[in-house]
Amino acid sequence: MYIPRFAGRTGLVAVALAAAVGTIVRLTAADSRISEIPTDDGTLALELANRWRELEPDIESYVDAEAVYFRFPSDTVVEAALPGDAMVIAAAPYINYTRPCAIHAVSSCQSELANEPVRVTVIGESGDIVEELETETMDNGFVELWLPRDRQYTLRFEARGRSVETIAGTYSDSPTCLTNLKLAQQNEEGSEEDRDG
């Protein structure tokens, strides 16, 4: 790099300082969004995390059984508590590939079946149907289910003529990310068989 003779050592310091200031400005731009987080409403915070997934790639976000967390480039972490009576489970049915996960990383988790029509049935411990919905997986391939806390459920997912069931809980140590949901083909008798491997 050419440095004018009159600049000398002072010029190098100025260049280094300008580079550092540029970094600070970049971090401040992302950190300036901290005030937008609804720290008193975990439901709205999760919606924001989903929006920021594409809009703010420098901001990491994840959700456990207690709160939604945002980590900014400056390493500042902001959390928004989930409701006391409900928690979210992010579920990703798949056909060909998946990966293990327990804590849903809203900013980075990606599953196979994005924007895919899916039927979801939530069954309570006594066999009653808690919820039934026809929906579509999000851009990340997940369906987010808000369920009452401290209970166990059977979750059934149906897509592309295939289905899968799993047991999930909403306890303080329960996972918020379910990725072990391999959809199996149903044969004519109604039982399921996996024809993909």
Residue 31: pLDDT band by 50, 70, 90 thresholds? confident
Distance CA 29, CA 41 (A): 24
Domain that holds residue 139: 86-193
Burial of 10 per CB tally in 10 Å (0-12, 13-18, 19+)? exposed
Number of domains in the chain: 1
Mean pLDDT in the chain?
Answer: 86
Range 62-75 average pLDDT: 97
Residue 165 lies in a domain: yes
DSSP-derived secondary structure letter, 34: G
Lowest mean pLDDT among 3-7, 17-21, 154-158, 163-167: 3-7
Per-residue pLDDT band at 187 (split at 50, 70, 90): low
pTM, rounded to two decimals: 0.79
Does the pLDDT value for residue 102 go beyond 80?
A: yes
Is 25 contained in some domain?
A: no
The answer to whether residue 99 sits within a structural domain is yes
Instruction: In whole angstroms, give the CA distance from residue 164 to residue 109.
Output: 20
pLDDT greater at residue 7 or residue 156? 156
Could you give the strand order of the β-sheet that contains 117-123, starting from the edge strand earlier in sequence? Answer: 129-136, 117-123, 152-159, 162-169, 184-186, 192-193
- Tell me how far apart the alpha carbons of residues 118 and 145 are, in angstroms, rounded to a whole number: 13
Contact indicator for 42, 70 with CB cutoff of 8 Å: no
167 occurs within a structural domain: yes
**Residue 90 — φ and ψ, nearest 5°?**
-100, 120
For residue 160, being part of any structural domain is answered with: yes
* pLDDT above 70 (res 101): yes
The whole-number pLDDT of residue 55 equals 93
Q: Residue 180's domain is classified under what CATH number? A: 2.60.40.3700
DSSP assignment of 111-153: -S-TT-EEEEEEE-TTS-EEEEEEEE--TTS-EEEEEESS-EE
72 falls within a domain: no
Does residue 80 sit within a domain? no
Confidence band (pLDDT; 50, 70, 90) for 186?
confident
Count of CB atoms situated within 10 Å of the CB of 165: 14
Per-residue confidence band for 77, with pLDDT thresholds at 50, 70 and 90: very high
Sequence-separated (6 or more) residues with CB below 8 Å from residue 49:
61, 63, 68, 70, 106, 107
Per-residue pLDDT, averaged over 23-45, amounts to 80
Residue 60, in any domain of the structure: no
